[in-house]
């Protein structure tokens, strides 16, 4: 196995590339390293890579992996779009996510004229849609490389075709895989923060909620082996990480498809044992698979954060059925009750969709009612967006935009009212906050998060980043708190 530090120089470029992964990718990385060295000498400057990430934590994590590969090749990260390699890692969960990407692509023309050798690449969920790729092939000819959610690990190989093969240089290279069950371990692994990081525990989704495109663009659910997950976290902890976020579209069904099935709760028990790790978060929990075992593990844990993101989607049991969510309003409320009993100060957040096809006034009132009953700390509210190919897109009674918009505004007000009440209750309480970065507006402040995932700004200096600080919440400023350090 080639690690980041071991055996890498032994790769023999005079031989054919190996078939097995990840060795094959390390071969291409090595090949591109040679190319990059020469290119930098020729240009008399570094090579720059710019990556923009749209969408969720999955994409954020994928972008870190991509940056890891680029840096290993010899590129430096830059914030500027005037780069030698420019990548949009796209999201397609709602229509406006797509529109943003088209808008940005249109603006890249000038950059490409200035630097014709620049490689413009696209990846992520949007690229798994045939119509999108066809549109780009037709209307956005300055794009050089398109790959999908299943073959990110192949980036070095694709880039080497693009950069080293003269004939490929002028053509758009498109490499999209349909679903795959393959999980490639041990690739280069860059992380944005030295003290916290996301860890994929599974990929894909099997739930097919009737509005959602994710299962079509991310493929079937597949879990990583617990040993691989534990080894990765142990490695992170050795490098100074104190907080991990376990990532999956539905972490509560982790492990079901493994040869030796294990539950998410069992995995958490094992992660908890890792010495030096202080905090565990996870995302996202589907209510239908939230087990009593998991609630019990959360109640007994010293490391699992007191926060649960539990997407509700709708407060109407009738609509939940049409959404294919497999729980009722009552089931959901029972979970909330159990969670609060096990972890009394738990913060609860959620996702809600407004304007789903067939949503009646009464359905919507039930959603409002649930928001009041569940007393969310905060909620992400979304206007329903029609996604081609999903069952909901073909449903007849689509809701007119004005009606949906009006409901959306009412919901948002209700959510904000309840968040403000919650925030009021919390002021003057003391929390352990992980200091994450220097505040961008005021450099005398640090920004961090409590176990409940509250965002807190408090006086401090950059040496404290990555450490835990006791902070009293003094005042709620909307989506964040101002705090004072407790001695
Ligand atoms: N796997 C996660 C979230 C995936 S997408 C889960 O099941 O909770 C994040 C959120 O986007 C969803 O929870 C949902 O509220 C929202 N969403 C998904 N598809 C949507 C659509 N077609 N229109 C509007 N919102 C949508
Ligand atoms: Fe989409 Fe549902 Fe899967 Fe979440 S659980 S990704 S909402 S299909
Ligand atoms: Fe978007 Fe793909 Fe995540 S569609 S929300 S980036 S899984």
DSSP class per residue in 62-116: HHHHHHHHHHHHTEEE-SSS--SEEEEEE--SSHHHHHHHHHHHHTTHHHHHH-T
Q: Is 387 in the pocket of ligand 1 (CB under 6 A)?
A: yes
* Cα distance between residue 375 and residue 372, in whole Å: 5
What's the token pair of residue 294?
A: 């998991």
Ligand 1 centre to CA of 353 (Å) is 8
- CA-nearest residue, atom 4 of ligand 2: 249
Ligand 2 centre to CA of 52 (Å) is 23
Closest atom of ligand 1 to 380 CA is 15
Q: Is 208 in the pocket of ligand 2 (CB under 6 A)?
A: yes
* Cα distance between residue 371 and residue 311, in whole Å: 12
Alpha helix (H) ranges present in 81-238? 95-106, 109-114, 130-139, 155-164, 166-169, 214-218, 226-238
Are 235 and 3 a contacting pair, CB within 8 Å? no
Which ligand lies nearest to the CA atom of residue 308 in the structure?
1
Pocket test for ligand 3, best of 51, 52, 56 (most atoms within 8 A of CB): 56
Instruction: Indicate the SS3 state at residue 17.
Output: coil
Determine the pLDDT at residue 5. 47
Q: Is 207 in the pocket of ligand 2 (CB under 6 A)?
A: yes
Instruction: Indicate the SS3 state at residue 200.
Output: strand
Pocket test for ligand 3, best of 63, 93, 385 (most atoms within 8 A of CB): 93
Determine the pLDDT at residue 2. 41
Residue with tokens 């403000």: 420
In Å, what is the CA distance from 34 to each residue of 1, 4, 154, 160?
A: 21, 17, 18, 11
- Find the distance separating the first CA and the last CA of the chain, reported in whole Å: 48
Element (H, E) at 118: none
Per-residue pLDDT in tens (0 to 9) along the chain, 487 residues: 344 544 677 889 999 999 999 999 999 999 999 999 999 999 999 999 999 999 999 999 999 999 999 999 999 999 999 999 999 999 999 999 999 999 999 889 888 888 888 999 999 999 999 999 999 999 999 999 999 999 999 999 999 999 998 777 778 999 998 877 778 888 887 888 999 999 999 999 999 999 999 999 999 999 999 999 999 999 999 999 999 999 999 999 999 989 999 999 999 999 999 999 999 999 999 999 999 999 999 999 999 999 999 999 999 999 999 999 999 999 999 999 999 999 999 999 999 999 999 999 999 999 999 999 999 999 999 999 999 999 999 999 999 999 999 999 999 999 999 999 999 999 999 999 999 999 999 999 999 999 999 999 999 999 999 999 999 999 999 889 999 999 7
Closest atom of ligand 3 to 149 CA is 2
The candidate with the shortest Cα–Cα distance to 221, out of 170, 185, 255, 175, is 255
* Cα distance between residue 79 and residue 107, in whole Å: 16
Q: Is 311 in the pocket of ligand 1 (CB under 6 A)?
A: yes
Q: What angle do CA 16, 22, 24 make, to 5 degrees?
A: 15
Determine the pLDDT at residue 170. 77
Which ligand lies nearest to the CA atom of residue 93 in the structure?
3
Q: Is 284 in the pocket of ligand 1 (CB under 6 A)?
A: yes
- CA-nearest residue, atom 12 of ligand 1: 351
Q: Is 329 in the pocket of ligand 2 (CB under 6 A)?
A: no
Are 452 and 304 a contacting pair, CB within 8 Å? no
- CA-nearest residue, atom 1 of ligand 3: 91
């Amino acid at each position: 196995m080639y690690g980041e530090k071991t055996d890498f120089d032994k790769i023999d470029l005079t031989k054919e590339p190996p078939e097995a992964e990840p060795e094959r990718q390390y071969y291409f990385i090595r090949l591109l390293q040679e190319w990059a060295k020469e290119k930098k000498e020729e240009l008399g400057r570094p090579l720059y890579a710019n990556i923009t990430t749209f969408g969720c934590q999955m994409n954020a994590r994928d972008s870190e992996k991509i940056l890891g590969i680029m840096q290993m090749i010899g590129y430096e990260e830059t914030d500027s779009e005037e780069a030698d390699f420019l990548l949009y890692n796209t999201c397609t969960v709602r229509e406006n996510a797509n529109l943003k990407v088209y808008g940005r692509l249109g603006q890249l023309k000038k950059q490409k004229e200035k630097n014709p050798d620049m490689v413009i690449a696209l990846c992520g969920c949007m690229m798994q849609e045939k119509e999108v790729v066809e549109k780009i092939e037709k209307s956005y000819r300055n794009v050089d490389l398109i790959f999908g959610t299943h073959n990110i690990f192949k980036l070095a190989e694709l880039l080497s075709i693009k950069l080293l093969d003269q004939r490929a240089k002028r053509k758009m290279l498109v490499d999209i895989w349909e679903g795959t069950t393959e999980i490639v371990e041990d690739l280069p692994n860059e992380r944005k923060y030295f003290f916290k990081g996301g860890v994929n525990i599974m990929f894909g989704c099997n739930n097919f909620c009737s509005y959602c495109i994710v299962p079509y663009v991310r493929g079937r659910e597949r879990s990583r082996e617990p040993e691989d997950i534990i080894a990765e976290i142990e490695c992170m902890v050795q490098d100074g990480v104190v907080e991990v976020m376990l990532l999956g579209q539905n972490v509560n069904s982790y492990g079901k498809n493994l040869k030796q099935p294990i539950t998410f709760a069992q995995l958490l028990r094992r992660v908890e044992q890792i010495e030096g790790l202080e905090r565990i978060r996870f995302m996202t929990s589907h209510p239908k698979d939230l087990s009593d075992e998991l609630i019990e593990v959360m109640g007994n844990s010293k490391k699992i954060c007191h926060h649960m993101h539990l997407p509700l989607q709708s407060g109407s049991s009738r609509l939940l059925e049409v959404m294919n969510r497999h729980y009722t309003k009552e089931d959901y409320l029972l979970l909330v009750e159990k969670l609060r009993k096990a972890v009394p100060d738990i913060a609860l957040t959620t996702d809600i969709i407004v304007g789903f096809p067939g949503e009646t006034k009464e359905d919507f009132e039930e959603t409002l009612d649930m928001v009041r009953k569940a007393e969310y700390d905060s909620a992400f509210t979304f206007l329903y967006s029609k996604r081609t190919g999903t069952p909901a897109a073909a449903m007849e009674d689509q809701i007119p935009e004005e009606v949906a918009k009006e409901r959306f505004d009412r919901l948002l007000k209700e959510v904000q009212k309840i968040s403000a009440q919650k925030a009021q209750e919390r002021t003057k309480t003391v929390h352990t906050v992980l200091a994450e970065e220097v505040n961008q507006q005021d450099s005398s402040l640090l920004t961090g998060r409590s176990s409940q995932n509250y965002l807190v700004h408090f006086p401090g200096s950059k040496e404290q980043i990555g450490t835990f600080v006791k902070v009293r919440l003094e005042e709620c400023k909307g989506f964040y708190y101002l705090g004072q350090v407790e001695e």
